[in-house]
Homo-oligomer: A and B are copies of this chain.
Amino acid sequence: MNIEHDSFPVRRRGRPCKHAADLGETRELLLRTGVELLTEQGFSATGIDQILRRVGVPKGSFYNYFKSKEAFGAELIERYRVYFLRKLERHLGNAALSPLARLQAFIADAQHGMQKFDFSRGCLAGNLGQEMGTLPETFRAQLNAVFADWQDRLARNFEVARAVGEIAENADCLRLAAFFWIGWEGAVMRAKLEKSVAPLEIFADGFFASVARR
């Protein structure tokens, strides 16, 4: 669940004009910058101020763009969910590969993405999940829904794998998908900590060993 930032370009800006189009553009920049910083350092360490400063928006005008800090955070989670699901779909929807090879392609892409940013960027949902103890309680259901969404999508891929005989006939696809995402978040954290793809590889190898058809 690392995020690649060529899809979130961040330009530094002066104080925004008050025209509706500019308001919209600044709002968009705040969201992109927010997603970027939250994949790097989570919510607590970032703070709204840092996001505003980076975009060049004066502190007092935050509420021109968002109803509340909580509403801003909720939009950041939703935006990441959509971004990440699109990335996942690109791999899992690749009919040229077998179902398990599609997951492997996603993993290779994630490894490449983390390397590209020198392992500074992880998963927004994982970062916020770790911090949940100090975040608005409404984020909990939203983050759980994000993981459930990814899990459902991967479970459908495993159902195809089962149908074509890549995994055992009696495999519990939803549980396998849950297992994958649970461990994957741990792997992304360790890859950031070690600044190495090794944790992603070790987890992927272990995972495929457990699903391999006996």
Contacts and interface: CB of A to CB of B under 8 A. Distances in A.
B210 A182 contact: no
Given A42-B130, A45-B134, A126-B130, A203 B190 contact: no
A187 B129 CA distance: 11
A19 to B, nearest CB: 36
A120 B175 CA distance: 24
A79 B44 CA distance: 24
Contact of A192 (B132, B199, B209, B214): B132
Interface string A170-205: 000001101101111111011011110001001101
Given A143-B193, A183-B183, A186-B184, A42 B206 contact: no
A144 interface: yes
Interface string A138-182: 001001100100000000000000000000000000011011011
A45 B131 contact: yes
Contacts of A140: 193, 195
Chain A contact residues (Cβ within 8 angstroms of B): what range? 35 or more
Interface in A107-144: 120, 122, 126-127, 129-134, 140, 143-144
A104 interface: no
A129 B192 contact: yes
Contacts of A120: 133
A138 to B, nearest CB: 13
B41 A131 contact: yes
A185 B175 contact: no
A207 interface: yes
A4 interface: no
Given A44-B44, A182-B203, A186-B189, 8 more contacts: A45-B131, A144-B193, A144-B194, A147-B193, A178-B199, A182-B187, A186-B186, A186-B187
